[in-house]
Structure 1
Amino acid sequence: MSIEDATGTDTTQFNVERTPPSIEDVMNTERNQVQRELDAWDLEAFVAKLGQRIAVVQQQPRRQRHTKTPQPPRPAPSRPTPSRPGRGNGPSILRPPVHSEWELQRLCEDAVTVPEVRALLERFLIDFDPCGARVFACLLYLADRADHALFWWRFASGAEDGLAAYCMALHSSAVGEKRQLSTWTRYIRDLAFDPARHWPQPKKNSTITSDTRRLSNCVQTNVRAASIPDSSSPAIMLPTADLPRELVSL
């Protein structure tokens, strides 16, 4: 298209299409942005702020602790004992909720009586090993601390621990969370988890879960609360260094 400018000269305008940025350009832009944020990070100011927060918390009065009354052993189910998951009519997570609760109880009991339970818990204490996190979550569940067990099952599931994800699916089925159940079911299938092949193999003649009250007392005594920095969520439970030894001595 030709137009005439103020001097009477014809000029021609061309529509030039811009080339979209390449993936390398986008990544370079993101890298430069991250580098600018890192350069602006003030470590000394962060440490000072953290110290102020710790000082405020320490000045607050401690809440009176209440010892939880141990619950009596759960009665044995009167219904016929079902077969283990994965054997028979498909995945157990598709069965009725009451069956899922019973199965989750059995799964936790078997998970904490495997021969390597002490080694798993010790690895969890050292570097938050996901398999150890799953075992610790099962211990919390057996000690009637399902709220904290869910945190560590999710943690282990994020590290692609299929057995932890299966625990989450069973719990979702037991409490009737259909949307959560659907999500966890898809996830365990993506992980190629098979209950028949991946079910924990407990140690024969193990006495860890023979007395539910003793197990609960052991766990309650050997856990501690810890807060997540810069988070409004409730405190999480962590094992003490004595838990692996105390557990296997039951």
Structure 2
Amino acid sequence: MTIEDILQAEADEVGSVLADHDPDAFTRRLAERIAEAERIAEAERQTPPVRPVPEGRHDRAPAPARPGRARPLPRRPRPRPVPSSTAGPEELRRHLHTLCESVLRGGHLGRLERFARDYDAAGARTFACLLYSINRHEAAVFWWRFAAGAEDQLSAHCLAIHHAADDNLIDARLWRTIATALGYSPRRHLPNPAPGAPLPDPGWLLARSGPELQQFAEPQAPLSAGCAGC
């Protein structure tokens, strides 16, 4: 069989397959299928999606609405940051006076001279305790804040007691938090003067101090030029 015979046989086979083909009917059926597919797609776009119901919740009844509260719940009182939960203002002031006296009796007086020269935190704390001992409370608070700003733990503790004694619990809680953040510990930071150590007269100490310390005894005293960098 020649190649021409093979090609002719293939042509005859294709012709027999297409003998019954109706192009018009095929085009009509194709158009109907396309139109039906478009209707289905449009219906799916207009139908909102159905959210699946979680398993186990098909038969659960809706929870009843909670009735509104008639009155707000009372707030629990916050604890006082004081040495004792029953300490009153006068007891707190006496405690702070005793603490300041312990600082003055504990060998910290030499820091006053360095404070007048270097404005260090320990000297500022000692100076504040001296001022508190002679009832210059406003000036004492100023220098405790100065020292606490330089991360002096005991000064922050003194400020917490002072504000608690004045019933200013917001500031008292603030300074208690600051003292805790600075790592305040009674065992490490409370003064421990030797038994029988004399208490120097704070007024005499202030009177014999230099003019700079006497100037600093006023509340919010302006710092001299030597403290420009502190």
TM-score w.r.t. the length of structure 2 is 0.54
Match of 2:92 among 93, 100, 117: 100
- Asked if 1:123 corresponds to 2:114, the answer is yes
Give the Cα–Cα distance (whole angstroms) in 2 for the partners of residues 175 and 237 of structure 1. Answer: 27
- Asked if 1:171 corresponds to 2:166, the answer is no
- Asked if 1:111 corresponds to 2:103, the answer is yes
| CA deviation profile, 1:115-157 (whole Å, cap 9, x unmatched) | 2x23322221221110011001000111121111111000000
Gaps of 5+ in 2: 1-80, 225-230
Paired residue type of 2:196? N
Give the Cα–Cα distance (whole angstroms) in 2 for the partners of residues 237 and 147 of structure 1. Answer: 16
Report the CA distance shift for 1:234/1:123 in structure 2 as closer, same or farther (over 3 A). closer
Give the Cα–Cα distance (whole angstroms) in 2 for the partners of residues 135 and 236 of structure 1. Answer: 19
Give the Cα–Cα distance (whole angstroms) in 1 for the partners of residues 99 and 221 of structure 2. Answer: 26
Gaps of 5+ in 1: 1-89, 228-232, 239-250
Report the CA distance shift for 1:190/1:157 in structure 2 as closer, same or farther (over 3 A). same
2:26 alignment counterpart: none
Give the Cα–Cα distance (whole angstroms) in 1 for the partners of residues 165 and 145 of structure 2. Answer: 17
Report the CA distance shift for 1:173/1:126 in structure 2 as closer, same or farther (over 3 A). same
SS, match of residue 176 in structure 1: coil
Report the CA distance shift for 1:169/1:150 in structure 2 as closer, same or farther (over 3 A). same
More strand by share: 1
Paired residue type of 1:166? H
Shift of 1:218: 3.4
Shift of 1:99: 2.4
Shift of 1:206: 2.2
Aligned partners of 1:148 and 1:236 also within 8 Å: no
| CA deviation profile, 1:92-127 (whole Å, cap 9, x unmatched) | 175433322111011100011112x23322221221
- Asked if 1:186 corresponds to 2:177, the answer is yes
Give the Cα–Cα distance (whole angstroms) in 2 for the partners of residues 102 and 134 of structure 1. Answer: 18
Q: Which of these two proteins has the greater Rg computed from alpha carbons?
A: 2
Report the CA distance shift for 1:172/1:125 in structure 2 as closer, same or farther (over 3 A). same
More helix by share: 2
Report the CA distance shift for 1:234/1:119 in structure 2 as closer, same or farther (over 3 A). closer
1:37 alignment counterpart: none
1:49 alignment counterpart: none
Shift of 1:196: 3.3
- Summarize the alignment of residues 133-212 of structure 1 with structure 2, pairs less than 5 Å apart: 133-209=124-200
Paired residue type of 1:134? R
- Summarize the alignment of residues 1-250 of structure 1 with structure 2, pairs less than 5 Å apart: 92=83, 95-115=87-107, 117-209=108-200, 214-220=201-207, 222=209, 223-225=213-215, 235=221
Aligned partners of 1:120 and 1:131 also within 8 Å: yes
Aligned length: 140
Give the Cα–Cα distance (whole angstroms) in 1 for the partners of residues 140 and 220 of structure 2. Answer: 13
TM-score w.r.t. the length of structure 1 is 0.50
